[in-house]
C-alpha cells in the first residue's frame, strides 16, 4: 500500500506477481491479490495483461461480502475511490446489511465533498447498527461540513455515550462548540480529550485549550497552555504560531511577529511561495538592490500590509510586488514607487524576496512604529467619477458590508444585515450595499420598510476585485462593515469607516480602544457581550445622528 502511494508501481507489480507465483492455499487471498494486480496494471495502461489477470480473478470470485469489503478498504486507503465504491457495492449485493460497506462509502463521499451521498450512506449504516459509536462520530463529522452543528453535537454525544470513547470524539465535539461560539462547552470537551490523550496528542490538545481560553478572555491561562506545548517540543509550529497570535493580540508586536513566521509550518499552513532568490530578513543591506514582495493569505491582509512597501522604497533601489491576480488593478493605485507584477516572473531576477506579512518582522515593528500613511491607496479616478454620477449627491451615503467569505475564520465576525434596519429609517440616510457573494442572499429577507440600494449586477463583476467598491467608498460619507477586506480597503483609501468587532477580535485589532493604529480614519465598535450585536448597532445609530447633525427624537414623556 505504501509503495503504491509513493508511485512505485513497478515494484508493486513485482511483489504481487511474486506472491501469486507462490502456492497460496486460500483462494480468497489469491482473488484479492489478482484484483489488486489488475488495478495496478490498468493504472499503468497495461490493458492486455490486466484483462488476463481479471479473467483469472473472475474464475476465483468468492462472492463474499467481507472480501469485497476488504478490497474496498484497500482501494479507499490508496485513494482509488471509484474502485473502492465498486467493491462496497459488490459487498452489499451479497449482504444488503453489511454495515462497513455503507459506513466506509460515506467516508469516501465525505472526502469527495459529495455530502448528500455521504449522509445517505451513513444513515443506512446507522439503521443497520444504531449502537455504532464510530458511525455516530462519522455522521457528526459530515454534519459539521454541512453546518448542521446542533445535529452534529447530538451524534458526537451519542458516540461518547456508546463508547469506547477516544480523544477524537471530544476534540471534534469541542471544535463544533467553537463553531457555535459556545466556548465554555468547547473548553470542557477539550479538557476531556486532554485527560484521555497521551504523548504528542496531549500536547496538541493544549493548543485547542489555549485558543479557547483566549476566546474566554483568560489570556494568562492561554499563555500557559502554549508554553506547555513548547516545553514538550520547542519547535512545535502550532504552539509557536498560537503564542505569537496571543502576543500580537496583546500588543507585543516585536515578539509576536517573530513567532508569526511559524505560520507556514503549522497544521493548516499558510501557503507562501518559495523562490530561489535569497530571503530578506531585515538584516541585509538593500541599498542599490531590488526586492520581490509576494502576497499571502487574504485580500484584506494584502491591502493592510501593502503599507510596508513604502518603507522598502526608502531602502531598496527597486521594489516589485506580486499581489493576488484579482487585486492587480486596485493596487496600481498605491502611492508608493512599486512595480506591480503578475504570476509570471520569468526574466525577473531580484536580489531578495520576502513574503508580505514577514515585513513587520523584518522592520521590527512595534505598536508605536506601525507605518500608517493615510491614504496610501487611490481609487481609479474614472471609476470614481462614474460612480459619482450614478449615485448622485443626495442623502447621507453609507456603504455597508456584513458578511465575510464563509469559512472557519469568519466565525463570530459577521452579523445579519437586518441589524441595519433602524439605521435605514434615519431621515436622509441611504444604505449602499457593498456586499458581493456570500451574504447577498440576506437582502431578500429584509423587512419591506428597510431600503438597501444594490449597485447592479456589473458591480465588481469582472476579473478584478474591489475597483468598483473603492470608487463607491470614495463617494460615500461613511462605511460600516464587519471585520473584512472592505474594512481594510476603506482604511487604506483614507475614508471614514466604522468596523464592528466581536468580543475577542482577531489580533490586529487588539482588545481595547476605538482608534486603530493601522488606519487613522477608522473607528472600532466592540461587542460588550459575546454574540450581542444589538447594543453595538444602538451605539452606531446614536453616533450617526451625532456625526451627521441629525436631530434625535425625544423620548415619549410619561404623564403622571
Please give the pLDDT value at position 96: 95
Q: Phi and psi (nearest 5°) for 353?
A: -140, 160
- Per-domain boundaries in the chain: 1-62, 79-165, 167-268, 290-362, 381-547
The b/e string for 154-173 (b: 16+ C-beta within 10 A; e otherwise) is ebbebbbebeebbbbbbbbb
Q: Phi and psi (nearest 5°) for 119?
A: -65, -40
Average pLDDT of 542-549?
92
Rounded percentage of the chain residues whose pLDDT exceeds 70: 91
Please give the pLDDT value at position 557: 41
Alpha-carbon Rg for the chain in angstroms:
29
Does residue 1 register a pLDDT over 80? Answer: no
Confidence of residue 396 (pLDDT cuts 50, 70, 90): very high
Average pLDDT of 521-535?
95
Alpha-carbon gap, residue 361 to 232, rounded angstroms? 26
Alpha-carbon gap, residue 136 to 173, rounded angstroms? 12
Please give the pLDDT value at position 7: 58
The closest of 224, 187, 232, 192 to 208, measured between CA atoms, is 187
Does residue 524 register a pLDDT over 70? Answer: yes
Please give the pLDDT value at position 556: 41
Does residue 423 register a pLDDT over 50? Answer: yes
Please give the pLDDT value at position 309: 96
Alpha-carbon gap, residue 18 to 7, rounded angstroms? 19
Q: Phi and psi (nearest 5°) for 466?
A: 75, 0
Confidence of residue 468 (pLDDT cuts 50, 70, 90): very high
Each residue's pLDDT tens digit, 347-386: 899 999 999 999 999 999 999 999 988 899 999 999 999 9
440, three cell numbers: 447577498
- Higher-scoring residue by pLDDT: 411, 334: 334
Q: Tell the CATH superfamily of the 381-547 domain.
A: Glycogen Phosphorylase B; (3.40.50.2000)
Does residue 522 register a pLDDT over 70? Answer: yes
Please give the pLDDT value at position 8: 61
Does residue 124 register a pLDDT over 50? Answer: yes
- The reply to whether 167-268 shares the fold of 79-165 is yes
Contact 140, 161 (CB under 8 A): no
Please give the pLDDT value at position 78: 79
Alpha-carbon gap, residue 442 to 435, rounded angstroms? 10
Q: Confirm or reject CATH 1.25.40.10 for domain 79-165, answering yes or no.
A: yes
Average pLDDT, the chain: 90
Confidence of residue 19 (pLDDT cuts 50, 70, 90): low
Contact 145, 110 (CB under 8 A): yes
Does residue 497 register a pLDDT over 60? Answer: yes
Confidence of residue 217 (pLDDT cuts 50, 70, 90): very high
Please give the pLDDT value at position 555: 41
Please give the pLDDT value at position 316: 81
Confidence of residue 431 (pLDDT cuts 50, 70, 90): very high
Q: Phi and psi (nearest 5°) for 164?
A: -70, 140
Provide the whole-model pTM.
Answer: 0.86
Please give the pLDDT value at position 67: 81
Does residue 41 register a pLDDT over 50? Answer: yes
Other beta carbons within 10 angstroms of residue 255's beta carbon come to 12
Does residue 90 register a pLDDT over 50? Answer: yes
Please give the pLDDT value at position 408: 62
Please give the pLDDT value at position 289: 95
CATH of 167-268, one of 2.70.170.10, 1.10.260.40, 3.40.50.1100, 1.25.40.10: 1.25.40.10
Alpha-carbon gap, residue 47 to 238, rounded angstroms? 47
Does residue 57 register a pLDDT over 90? Answer: no
Preceding omega of 164 cis (within 30 degrees of 0): yes
Average pLDDT of 8-24?
62
Contact 15, 1 (CB under 8 A): no
DSSP code of residue 279: B
110, three cell numbers: 465525505
Please give the pLDDT value at position 550: 72
- The distance between the two most distant Cα atoms of the chain, rounded to a whole number of Å, is 105
Confidence of residue 548 (pLDDT cuts 50, 70, 90): very high
Average pLDDT of 305-331?
94
Average pLDDT of 275-286?
95
Average pLDDT of 417-443?
94
Alpha-carbon gap, residue 447 to 258, rounded angstroms? 48
Average pLDDT of 44-72?
74
Confidence of residue 59 (pLDDT cuts 50, 70, 90): low
Preceding omega of 335 cis (within 30 degrees of 0): no
The closest of 36, 3, 42 to 19, measured between CA atoms, is 36
Among the residue ranges 63-77, 121-135, 227-241, 495-509, the one predicted with the least confidence is 63-77
Each residue's pLDDT tens digit, 223-280: 999 999 999 999 999 999 999 999 999 999 999 999 999 999 998 899 999 999 999 9
Amino acid at each position: 500500500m505504501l509503495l503504491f502511494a509513493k508511485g512505485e508501481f513497478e515494484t508493486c507489480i513485482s511483489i504481487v506477481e511474486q506472491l501469486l507465483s507462490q502456492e497460496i492455499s486460500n483462494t480468497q487471498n489469491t482473488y484479492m491479490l489478482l484484483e489488486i494486480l489488475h488495478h495496478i496494471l490498468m493504472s499503468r495502461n497495461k490493458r492486455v495483461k490486466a484483462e488476463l489477470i481479471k479473467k483469472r480473478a473472475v474464475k476465483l470470485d468468492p462472492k463474499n461480502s467481507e472480501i469485497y469489503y476488504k478490497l474496498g478498504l484497500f482501494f479507499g486507503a490508496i485513494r482509488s475511490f471509484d474502485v473502492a465504491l465498486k467493491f462496497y457495492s459488490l459487498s452489499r449485493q451479497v449482504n444488503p446489511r453489511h454495515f462497513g460497506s455503507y459506513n466506509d462509502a460515506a467516508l469516501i463521499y465525505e472526502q469527495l465533498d459529495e455530502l448528500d451521498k455521504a449522509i445517505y450512506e451513513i444513515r443506512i449504516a446507522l439503521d443497520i447498527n444504531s449502537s455504532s459509536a464510530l458511525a455516530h462520530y462519522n455522521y457528526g463529522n459530515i454534519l459539521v461540513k454541512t453546518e448542521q452543528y446542533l445535529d452534529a453535537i447530538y451524534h458526537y454525544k451519542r458516540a461518547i455515550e456508546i463508547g469506547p470513547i477516544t480523544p477524537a470524539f471530544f476534540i471534534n465535539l469541542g471544535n463544533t462548540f467553537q463553531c457555535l461560539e459556545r466556548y465554555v462547552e468547547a473548553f470542557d470537551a477539550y479538557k476531556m480529550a486532554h485527560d484521555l490523550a497521551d504523548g504528542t496528542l496531549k500536547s496538541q490538545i493544549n493548543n485547542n485549550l489555549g485558543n479557547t481560553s483566549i476566546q474566554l478572555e483568560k489570556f494568562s491561562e492561554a499563555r500557559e497552555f502554549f508554553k506547555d506545548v513548547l516545553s514538550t517540543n520547542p519547535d512545535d509550529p502550532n504552539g509557536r504560531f498560537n503564542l505569537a497570535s496571543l502576543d500580537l493580540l496583546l500588543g507585543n508586536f516585536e515578539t509576536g511577529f517573530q513567532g508569526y513566521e511559524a505560520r507556514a509550518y503549522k497544521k493548516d499552513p499558510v501557503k507562501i511561495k518559495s523562490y530561489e532568490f535569497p530571503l530578506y530578513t531585515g538584516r541585509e543591506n538593500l541599498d542599490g538592490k531590488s526586492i520581490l514582495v509576494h502576497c499571502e493569505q487574504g485580500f484584506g491582509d494584502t491591502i493592510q500590509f501593502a503599507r510596508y512597501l513604502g518603507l522598502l522604497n526608502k531602502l531598496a533601489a527597486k521594489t516589485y510586488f506580486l499581489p493576488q491576480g484579482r487585486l492587480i488593478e486596485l493596487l496600481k493605485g498605491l502611492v508608493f514607487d512599486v512595480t506591480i507584477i503578475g504570476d509570471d516572473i520569468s526574466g525577473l531576477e531580484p536580489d531578495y524576496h520576502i513574503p508580505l506579512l514577514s515585513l513587520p518582522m523584518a522592520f521590527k515593528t512595534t505598536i508605536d512604529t506601525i507605518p500608517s500613511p493615510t491614504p496610501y491607496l487611490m481609487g481609479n479616478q474614472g471609476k470614481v467619477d462614474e460612480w459619482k454620477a450614478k449615485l448622485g449627491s443626495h442623502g447621507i451615503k453609507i456603504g455597508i458590508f456584513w458578511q465575510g467569505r464563509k469559512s472557519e475564520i469568519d466565525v463570530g465576525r459577521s452579523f445579519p444585515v437586518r441589524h441595519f434596519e433602524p439605521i435605514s429609517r434615519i431621515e436622509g440616510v441611504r444604505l449602499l450595499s457593498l456586499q458581493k457573494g456570500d451574504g447577498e442572499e440576506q437582502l431578500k429577507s429584509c423587512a419591506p420598510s428597510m431600503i438597501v440600494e444594490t449597485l447592479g449586477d456589473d458591480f465588481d463583476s469582472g476579473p478584478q476585485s474591489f475597483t468598483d467598491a473603492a470608487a463607491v467608498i470614495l463617494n460615500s460619507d461613511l462605511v460600516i462593515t464587519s471585520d473584512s477586506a472592505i474594512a481594510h480597503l476603506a482604511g487604506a483609501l483614507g475614508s471614514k469607516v466604522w468596523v464592528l468587532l466581536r468580543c475577542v477580535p482577531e489580533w490586529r485589532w487588539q482588545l481595547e480602544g476605538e482608534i486603530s493604529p493601522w488606519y487613522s480614519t477608522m473607528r472600532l465598535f466592540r461587542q460588550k457581550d459575546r454574540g450581542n450585536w444589538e447594543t453595538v448597532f444602538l451605539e452606531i445609530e446614536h453616533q450617526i445622528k451625532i456625526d451627521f447633525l441629525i436631530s434625535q427624537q425625544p423620548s415619549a414623556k410619561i404623564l403622571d
